[in-house]
Chains A and B, each alone.
Chain A
């Protein structure tokens, strides 16, 4: 069982992600934060998140209020404790520069949210499946 942190400001996307993960058993382990600052608080167990559980996987939107997704990515990958956590950038942007920039910052994967809902569900389940069943993650 892995814990996932979803960093997503759009309630619609949160809902869709939750729907996509429904039935996979992940939903209960899904933590959601709405902006970059909260994401960092969550990861560093600050403020309201002192009891937070360090996630096994981070699904990160780029276009976030307060602290941009890129900034969150940069800080996570710069931190020796956090950088082991795989980060999947899950965003609407198809812009090449976003892709390049994300990988420059050591994102583990870059996924563009499909327009088609069925596709979206498929993609989210793929990600989940991949990180739960296929990959081996560092032990905590």
Chain B
């Protein structure tokens, strides 16, 4: 495991040789190796002890038992044989020899071989061989001859009996030695068994203790290597999360946690940067809003000034105009006879100019009032607007024999007088700018998503494409005022009203191909012009884009 992390991100740290530090992984692996080694040792010891126990137990329980029993059987066989001979000597009855015959004749069947097989290490084997030798001598030298003697009817002499006792005693003492050797050996083995069993028990207890200690040590180490650093780091992170962004986060413990701490710290730095950026953005937004507020106020102020200007214009500017016109006329009336034609013409131009100026002022005033001097906005039935507009245009309509058709028109939200004026201006234009034929005017409406789209098309003289935008400018005229009257406010007014209601208005481009032209510069009776289509939209539902102003204008003068 290599130590590559740096808490501070300072490259100086990378160059300094770091002491070899064990990571969590290495530490846990090492601890496990130690524990496994310990457990392996303990288990090995336990197994060895167990095997030893089993071995000793088998010796004590089976081998020595077998040895002792076969020795004792041998002795009993001998004892039975000896008793049988003595009985036979007394009774001379062959039946008395039955025990001898059934004794298994130990002298002919030594057990020392078996004994050495079962207990290879015992020192009793030579003693047993000695006893077997004595038994063989007793039988061959005494028992067999004595049986023959008694068979022949003779009696045993005391010397015979003594000789027999002596030989049997030889056997008995050798046998006793054998038993006396086997018994202590067996005792010793039993003691060994007890020792080994105790050892096994001790090893068991020791294993348990070792396991317990290993577990405890592992638990402490895990706490120190994992839990504590994690809890510490979590605590640090929580402090930051709870809002103390300035709190520096440092990891403790194994390098992984130090690295994790460094990562969290880096995250904190990034967080601080982002919070600062957000704060900066918020400040900028506030600033922008303040600026906007200022500008709105400025705009409202300027609107009020404009309103005042408009009022002043309507009132005070007209006054002198009226004077000029009126007194020129009075001059003409009083002194008409005393002036020549030229003077009359001068007066005519002066009066005409003043009147036109007054009309311009009034139009301008009206134009400036759209959306300011508002009637409360409400649901407006455009069909009614159209009807009212047509009523206002009654005279023009009759004079021109105009034919006007319209779709069912929708209800929109807005100001009825203004929307009526739009209709009136558009239809009025269509009548006014007619070609040779009687005007045919069509008002159409269709829904297009969130907007109603309207068209007013006619068969009039049309608007040349290059002027399509200019016609919406205030006081822009495309024709000499001698040809068509008016100040040129109509479409500008329409545009302002439609935009105030959240819509758009434009001149539809004429269809491709050659357009109708007046013959010899004059529209002939019955001749259709290229026609004009004005298209405009109104939102299906919307609030008016009206500036927050006092509902009526207060003028202080």
Judging by beta carbons under 8 Å apart, are B365 and A115 in contact?
Answer: no
Bound CA span A16–B351, Å: 16
Per-residue CB contact flags for chain A residues 84-99 toward chain B (1 = under 8 Å, else 0) read: 0000000111111100
Bound CA span A10–B325, Å: 15
Per-residue CB contact flags for chain A residues 52-91 toward chain B (1 = under 8 Å, else 0) read: 0000000000010000000000000000000000000001
Judging by beta carbons under 8 Å apart, are B552 and A97 in contact?
Answer: yes
Judging by beta carbons under 8 Å apart, are A95 and B314 in contact?
Answer: yes
Bound CA span A97–B311, Å: 10
Judging by beta carbons under 8 Å apart, are A97 and B373 in contact?
Answer: yes
Contact partner of B355 (CB less than 8 A), chosen from A63, A92, A116, is A116
- B105 interface hit (Cβ, 8 Å): no
* Least CB distance, A43 to chain B, in whole angstroms: 23
Bound CA span A91–B355, Å: 17
- B553 interface hit (Cβ, 8 Å): yes
- A12 interface hit (Cβ, 8 Å): yes
Judging by beta carbons under 8 Å apart, are A92 and B318 in contact?
Answer: yes
Contact partner of A95 (CB less than 8 A), chosen from B311, B322, B323, is B311
Which B residues lie within 8 Å of A103 (CB)?
Answer: none
Interface residues on B, range: 20 to 34
* Least CB distance, A108 to chain B, in whole angstroms: 21
Which B residues lie within 8 Å of A129 (CB)?
Answer: none
Interface of chain B residues 317 through 334 with chain A (CB within 8 A): 318-319, 321-323, 325-330, 333
* Least CB distance, B321 to chain A, in whole angstroms: 7
Which A residues lie within 8 Å of B316 (CB)?
Answer: 63
Contact A16 to B330, CB < 8 A, known contacts A113-B322, A116-B325: yes
Per-residue CB contact flags for chain A residues 104-135 toward chain B (1 = under 8 Å, else 0) read: 00000000010111101000000000000000
* Least CB distance, B415 to chain A, in whole angstroms: 13
Judging by beta carbons under 8 Å apart, are B321 and A93 in contact?
Answer: no
Interface of chain B residues 505 through 557 with chain A (CB within 8 A): 552-553, 557
* Least CB distance, B453 to chain A, in whole angstroms: 31
Which B residues lie within 8 Å of A93 (CB)?
Answer: 314-315
- B176 interface hit (Cβ, 8 Å): no
Contact A19 to B329, CB < 8 A, known contacts A10-B319, A94-B362, A115-B355: no
Which B residues lie within 8 Å of A95 (CB)?
Answer: 311, 314-315, 365
Contact A115 to B358, CB < 8 A, known contacts A16-B326, A19-B330: yes
Judging by beta carbons under 8 Å apart, are A94 and B325 in contact?
Answer: no
Chain B CB within 10 A, most for which of A16, A63, A97, A115 = A115
Q: A63-B316, A93-B315, A116-B355 are in contact. List 14 more A-B contacts (CB 8 A).
A: A16-B326, A92-B314, A93-B314, A94-B362, A95-B315, A95-B365, A97-B553, A115-B318, A115-B321, A115-B358, A116-B326, A117-B325, A117-B333, A118-B329
- Complex A-B: 27 CB contacts under 8 Å: A10-B323, A12-B326, A12-B327, A16-B330, A63-B316, A63-B557, A92-B315, A92-B318, A92-B319, A94-B362, A95-B311, A95-B314, A95-B315, A97-B373, A115-B322, A115-B325, A115-B326, A115-B354, A115-B358, A116-B326, A116-B329, A116-B351, A116-B355, A117-B325, A117-B328, A117-B330, A117-B333
By Cβ-Cβ distance, the 4 closest A-B pairs, closest first, are A117-B329, A117-B326, A93-B315, A115-B322
Show the binding face of A for B, using Cβ within 8 Å.
10, 12, 16, 19, 63, 91-97, 113, 115-118, 120
